[in-house]
Structure 1
């Protein structure tokens, strides 16, 4: 199938070659005709000069006498070299005339002669130039000769340099035109052959030019169908190659976007599944407790009080779950604005330590803050940073044994600081480490009954929004350390 662009390219290339050939033919015809005429003029000039010199020597040899021909004077002398003039005609393959010095008598080969007055008026100009010693060209003798003729004249001089006669050499223009016509015929034939070959090459070139475009069109069609793995396979160092590369990059980006979309869709499904699972348990407990109370299954005041406490605990859990979901959703929204301002991170750590010591006292867990820096300048949302550190410290207290210790250690080097929060818990299993900061990733340990599985995900989002990095290192059966790394703002503090 030949596409429109292929036909256009073939038409364009062929038209270009045709116009080029016509221009070349016109220029060739013009220049070749001029060259042919100049060549014949030079050749005739060379021959007429040779004839004039030879004729001069012939006359100076003294072999011509009045008795040899037509009487006294020029006419008598001419008769003596008439055989010679016939030979010159045959050798020169042209018509040779001799005009005497008085411009009265014209002698031709084959014994022909006529008076000067029989010549056309324009012939006088040519003869005047010749008798002035010039080489003259003219086409004015065509009427006398009965055909288009080019004439060249040359003076005949004696030994003293005196002009004694004029030689006129006539050559038919028809011969020159035939040479030009033959040249043009050869050019026309060559042009036709060249156009035929060029037409074939134009087809091949056009098909080769269109082939990568067809591949790109096919790739684009596959991309429309959703096959983002399609590639053009075109590698050229030109604009078409650049376009193909751009299309391949687009294919790659679409594939990445498709995978990301699938990942987000899977994440959405997982989220719905997880939130449904997290809501099912407290809702089931609440409904069961309410049904038992409503149906008077439980009537003992002490048991009723237990049911009320359980319902309150489940409602508190639901409220925490909803609050955490809202917080996480806000933090994951790029348009959510936080109250960013300059602050001292040391104050954040001190605030968290004071608040968590009250919680830790219930398990007799000690919270130790080791921060040798009075000022740790940075820009952030004080409330969110406090929430971030408190989530990690709360987890550390939650999983620490009674009478254990949670240590907060700050180290800074060249403007970069590191906060390590270390507990003395049972550690985290390696298979859980990879999903530690994902939503609803919750330890089923008895000590984590009130956890929603969203705390570390929230802490990680807060750290990300502040340009901090949050990582964890744990050994099963030993301590777990959560590490925050962040840069300080320049404030003249040296470490």
Structure 2
């Protein structure tokens, strides 16, 4: 299973998803907590400011009422006792501390804040008196101002200087992670009378962050399951064409090159499938070519055996007849000698042609390429052909559009090629006939008006040992045209034959002029 693509894909999906989940989860938890704290901070700041403003307004109202009462007392409309009850000092002036810090008289306010608010609300006056709801409930205060740690005192000092401050400096004192917001209490003239401190525990925010993280982990688990399903489906989609290509390759190893995987995808797998199909096609072509070469080898052995058997049989028969004194008449003996000489000449020509053909078909055999004038080669071939056709009174004619036709080639091989074509043309031409050699542009034609070649035979005339079974061709080896074609191809020429039996036969050479 560990080596299966399904497992590897799933593992890849799982690791990628796990890393993604860890990064996103950690980032989310951090950002969520910070966002929650910022929201809580803004909320506490707003509430602290409102509480401070409400206390400041309450103090202003109380002071205005006290001043009004003091005026009434001075006019004899009140009593000193009443003045004291309403916040007067023994000297008849407003007291600095009346019913609470800052002389505000807000016992009920603190009790309400202590019971209604989810957070602790502390108040510090300008004389560093710490007031909290427990003071007004008759309970012993949990902390005094002197108990404040340095960080907490620093927060109070900033608030007393008019800043709205946020800090976690009270956390050690309250023994729980706490967010504290402080806001200054001001009177109508802007004088700072004290500070409001609101403490909110962070445990609720941490729990919210943990809950969000748990939800994220649950989603990650669901995503992991989805990743497994996607991995299974993806691996099936991914491995299906690979499995097909594997089966195709196995069948190819068994020798079946006709099988195709037919994978059509616009990706690397599709390219691999196309390459495999192309390989099968090439292997099939190679097999056919190999079979053709093998058949050609067999045909060659059969043909050479046939070509050698006839002269060898004639020579052996003649020698046996002479050796056993079967033939004793001098004229007959002379005829037998001439026959054996003719057969040995044929054997020599056959062997020479085979050697030439073998060398020309071997690409490592180099021919001597030099710059020459093709017209000179044509002219020499025409002169030689005229001597060949003298006995049959054959007229050999050369027609060209130029006497200067430079090409790169082997002079001797080009002359050999032309003489093969011209020899065949003279051989199959009737007495008093004509053979023409025509050079026009890039086209060279050898034209005769002999017996011609049947249409079904034309495609085979350049094959080895292929020759017409007529009396005029009994001395041929069947290798001449094959040799001529090899020479033409080694010079970059294309050679074809066109024939109308009994009318005209053309050998056409298409060549490149330098």
Normalising by the residue count of structure 1, what TM-score does the alignment of the two structures yield?
A: 0.89
Deviations 1:184-240 (A, max 9, x none): 222222222222222322332233334333333333333333333343423333333
CA distance in 1, matches of 2:88, 2:177: 32
1:246-395 matches, within 5 Å, as 246-371=275-400, 373-395=402-424
**SS class of match (1:472):** strand
Q: Unpaired segments of 5 or more residues in structure 2?
A: 67-82, 90-94
**SS class of match (2:195):** strand
Aligned to 2:57: 57
Deviations 1:123-167 (A, max 9, x none): 322222221111223444456645443322211111111122322
Matched, 1:454 2:482: no
**SS class of match (1:361):** coil
Deviations 1:331-358 (A, max 9, x none): 1111111122222222222222222223
Aligned to 2:219: 190
Q: How large is the Cα RMSD of the aligned pairs?
A: 2.7
1:95-134 matches, within 5 Å, as 95-108=120-133, 111-112=137-138, 114=141, 116-117=144-145, 119-122=147-150, 123-134=152-163
**SS class of match (2:180):** strand
**SS class of match (1:483):** strand
**SS class of match (2:327):** coil
Aligned to 1:47: 47
Contact kept? 2:98, 2:105, Cα under 8 Å: no
**SS class of match (1:170):** strand
CA distance in 1, matches of 2:369, 2:446: 24
Contact kept? 1:420, 1:483, Cα under 8 Å: yes
CA distance in 1, matches of 2:192, 2:2: 77
Contact kept? 2:463, 2:482, Cα under 8 Å: yes
Q: Is the alpha carbon distance of 1:475 and 1:135 closer, same or farther for their aligned partners in structure 2, counting shifts above 3 Å?
A: same
CA distance in 2, matches of 1:270, 1:53: 118
Aligned to 2:246: 217
Task: Quote the offset at 1:91 in angstroms.
Answer: 3.4
Q: Unpaired segments of 5 or more residues in structure 1?
A: 490-495
Q: Is the alpha carbon distance of 1:58 and 1:488 closer, same or farther for their aligned partners in structure 2, counting shifts above 3 Å?
A: same
Work out the number of aligned pairs and report it: 485
Task: Quote the offset at 1:452 in angstroms.
Answer: 0.9
Q: Is the alpha carbon distance of 1:350 and 1:117 closer, same or farther for their aligned partners in structure 2, counting shifts above 3 Å?
A: closer
Contact kept? 2:100, 2:107, Cα under 8 Å: no
Q: Is the alpha carbon distance of 1:407 and 1:143 closer, same or farther for their aligned partners in structure 2, counting shifts above 3 Å?
A: closer
Q: Is the alpha carbon distance of 1:136 and 1:460 closer, same or farther for their aligned partners in structure 2, counting shifts above 3 Å?
A: same
Q: Is the alpha carbon distance of 1:420 and 1:129 closer, same or farther for their aligned partners in structure 2, counting shifts above 3 Å?
A: closer
**SS class of match (2:481):** helix
Q: Is the alpha carbon distance of 1:40 and 1:329 closer, same or farther for their aligned partners in structure 2, counting shifts above 3 Å?
A: same
Which protein has the larger Cα radius of gyration, Structure 1 or Structure 2? 2
Q: Is the alpha carbon distance of 1:141 and 1:272 closer, same or farther for their aligned partners in structure 2, counting shifts above 3 Å?
A: same
**SS class of match (1:477):** coil
Normalising by the residue count of structure 2, what TM-score does the alignment of the two structures yield?
A: 0.86
Task: Quote the offset at 1:309 in angstroms.
Answer: 1.7
Q: Is the alpha carbon distance of 1:188 and 1:485 closer, same or farther for their aligned partners in structure 2, counting shifts above 3 Å?
A: closer
**SS class of match (1:470):** strand
Task: Quote the offset at 1:433 in angstroms.
Answer: 0.9
Aligned to 1:402: 431
Aligned to 2:73: none
Deviations 1:436-479 (A, max 9, x none): 11111111111111011111111111111112232222112222
Contact kept? 2:377, 2:414, Cα under 8 Å: yes
Task: Quote the offset at 1:51 in angstroms.
Answer: 1.2
